[in-house]
Structure 1
C-alpha cells in the first residue's frame, strides 16, 4: 500500500502526520495542505486507461481506488463561440463534489475511524454520504436549516444520519467541527481536508486531455469555499511545472452579489476577507459562504493567475438558468453562476470553460 503524504499548515508550517485524524492545524486551527508534488503523465500515455478521474493516478495522493463510482470524465460542450461548458452535473451524485468525496472516502478507509462526519449545504453532503455508503462507513452530515429537501432526501437515501442545525451554513460547520474533535472521528471536510482539493483538480486534468494538451485562455469558476478553484490552481501548477502547458490560463472567480466576501476583499486589495454581513439571500446556496477558511489562498491564486472576481445578481442567475435550460441543460442555481457572469461578454474575446456543477433536479428553478 502506497504511503500517505503528511499534511502541513500553509499559514505557519506546522506538520500533521499522515495517519492522524486531526482535521486542522493544531496551532492556528487553519486548513491543511498536502506535502505532495506529483508529476502528471504526458498526454500520449493516457490512452487506454480507466475512464474515470483515476486515469490521472500519477497526480493523486491515493492509488488503487476501492470505492469508485466511475466519477470524472464528464462531457465538454460548446455554449457559444469560444465558451464551452464542462458538464460536471453528470457525476454519480449529480455534482462536481464527487471528485473530492471519493478521495475522502478512500482516505477514511485507510484511517479506519469509528465515524465519518461532514457539514454541507447540500452537494458535498450528498457526495460524502454516497461514497461512505459505497465504503460501508457510518456517516453523519450536519446541514443548515433550509437545505434543499431533495438534497436531504438524497443523503438519507444513502444511509447518512442528517442533523439539521439552526442557523446558516457557518452554524452547521461549527457544530460539525465540535463533533470532529471527538476520538475516532474522521471529519470529511471539503474545506479543511486537502485530499478534497486533489480530487477537484482532476477537473483541469480532464480539460487538458480533452483539449489535446492545452487549456483555454480563461477558466471561470464559482467560489464559495473555493475548492474547485484551488483544485484548478493545483492542476495548472502541476501541468505547467511538468512542461505540459505552454502558458497558464487566467482564473475568473464568480460569487453571488448577495454573498460576495471575496469579491469585496479583492476590490479593497485585501489579503483576507473582512467580517461582513451578507447583502441578502441568494439562490446560489452552494457559494453563499461569508467567511471561507481558505480565503487567503483563493485570493492569492486568482491574483497570481492575472485574473479577477466577477459577481452575479439574482436576476442574472435566474436568466442564466433559464437560458441553459433552453439549450437542453437543466442546472441548479449555484451551478449556473459562471454562465451568468460570462454570457453577456464579460471575458471579451478570450476562450473559456465554465463548469456546470450541479443538476437542476436538486433545487428546481431559482425564484421568483
Structure 2
C-alpha cells in the first residue's frame, strides 16, 4: 500500500494503519502516490467501472476489487456549450460512490473491528452500501434533520445510524471521537485521500468520453471540496502525462447561505480566516462552515484560473425545477452548479456541470409553478 503524508507538517504514516489524521496537527492526509498514464485506446475492452482506470488508482494492483459498477455515468447536453454529467445515476444515486468504493476496498483489506463515517446523507449512504458489498459492519453519524429518505437508504444497507443533535460540524466531531477508538476505520470522505482518488475518475471519464480532451471549464459544487480536489488531481495527472494539452478552469460553487470558501477566495486569503456561521440552506450537502481542506481548495481553484460563485435559495429552487422539466430530477445540492451557470455570464468554450444527487433522495425544494419553461444558456 501507499503512504499517507500531511501536507502541512510532512508527517508520514503507512496507509495500512488506522491513523485517520495527522497525529501532530490533526489535519487531513494526502497520499504519496504517483499515477501512470492511462492508455485511451485500451479502455474499450476494460471493466465497466471506475477500476478501468487502474493505472491512475491506488489499490488497483490487487484484484478482484469490490464494485457496484460505479462510474460511467452519461454526459448529456443542456445547451450548445454546456453539458451535464449525470452522476445522480450512480448505484446509490450520488457521485459519492466514486470515493466510497475506494474507502470500502481499503477497509476490506485492513479488516478493522468497525467502520464509522459521518455525513449529511449521500456520503453515508455510499459508504453503507459499499461496506455492505464488502461484508463490513458500518455506523454512520448524521445530523438531526437529515432527509428521512436518506436515513431509510442507509439503514436498508444494514448500517447503524447515529443521529447527532446539532449541525454538520457536531456530527463530524462525534464521528471523529469514535474514530479515535482502537481498531476503528474512519471512512472519511474528507480526511482520507483515497476518497479523492476515487472522485478524480469523474474527470477521467470526461476525458475518455470526449476522445482524449477535456472541456474548457469544469463547474463543481464545493462544501468539503471532495469532487473539486479529485478533479484537480485528475487534471494534473492528465496534463502531467501529456494526455491533455491544457488545464480546464475549475469554477467552484457554494450556497450563498454558507459560503466561507467563496468569501476567502474573493478576499485573496490563502485559508479560512474563521469558520462561517451555520445557516440553513436547501443545498445541505455543501453547507460546510469550516472545511478541513480549505487551503487546498483555494489553491486548486487559483492554479487553474478559476473562480468561485455563490447561488441563492431562489436560484437553487429555480434550477431544480428547470432541470426537472428537462427530464432530470436532481436534489437541491446537486443543482447548485446549474444554478450558477444560469445566473452568471457564460465563460468561453465548453462547460461541464455535475448533477450530483438524485431528487428522489429529498424531493422538490418548492412546489412547481405552472407555466415555467426551461431557460436557455448561450
1:219–1:249 contact (8 Å) kept in structure 2 = yes
2:223–2:286 contact (8 Å) kept in structure 1 = yes
1:45-69 CA distance string (max 9 Å, x none): 2121111111100111012243200
1:252-304 CA distance string (max 9 Å, x none): 00000000000000111111113244373100000000000000000000000
Match of 1:237 in 2: 236
Match of 2:35 in 1: 38
1:22 aligns with 2:19: yes
3-state SS of paired residue (2:185): strand
2:218–2:353 contact (8 Å) kept in structure 1 = yes
In the comparison of the two structures, how many residue pairs are matched? 365
1:59 aligns with 2:56: yes
Paired with 2:102 and 2:314, the residues of 1 have a C-alpha distance of 36
Paired with 1:338 and 1:308, the residues of 2 have a C-alpha distance of 13
Match of 2:117 in 1: 118
Match of 1:358 in 2: 357
- Gapped runs of 5+ residues in structure 2? 368-378
How far 1:43 sits from its partner (Å)?
1.2
1:89–1:95 contact (8 Å) kept in structure 2 = yes
Paired with 2:122 and 2:352, the residues of 1 have a C-alpha distance of 21
TM-score by structure 1 length?
0.97
TM-score by structure 2 length?
0.95
Residues 69, 279 of structure 1: alpha-carbon distance in 2 compared, 3 angstrom cutoff: closer
Match of 2:80 in 1: 81
3-state SS of paired residue (1:40): coil
How far 1:24 sits from its partner (Å)?
0.2
Residues 81, 279 of structure 1: alpha-carbon distance in 2 compared, 3 angstrom cutoff: farther
1:335–1:358 contact (8 Å) kept in structure 2 = yes
Paired with 1:181 and 1:210, the residues of 2 have a C-alpha distance of 42
1:24-54 CA distance string (max 9 Å, x none): 0011000001100102212112121111111
3-state SS of paired residue (2:303): helix
1:174-323 equivalences in 2 (<5 Å): 174-278=173-277, 280-323=279-322
1:41–1:58 contact (8 Å) kept in structure 2 = yes
Paired with 1:220 and 1:76, the residues of 2 have a C-alpha distance of 14
- RMSD after superposition: 1.0
- Gapped runs of 5+ residues in structure 1? none
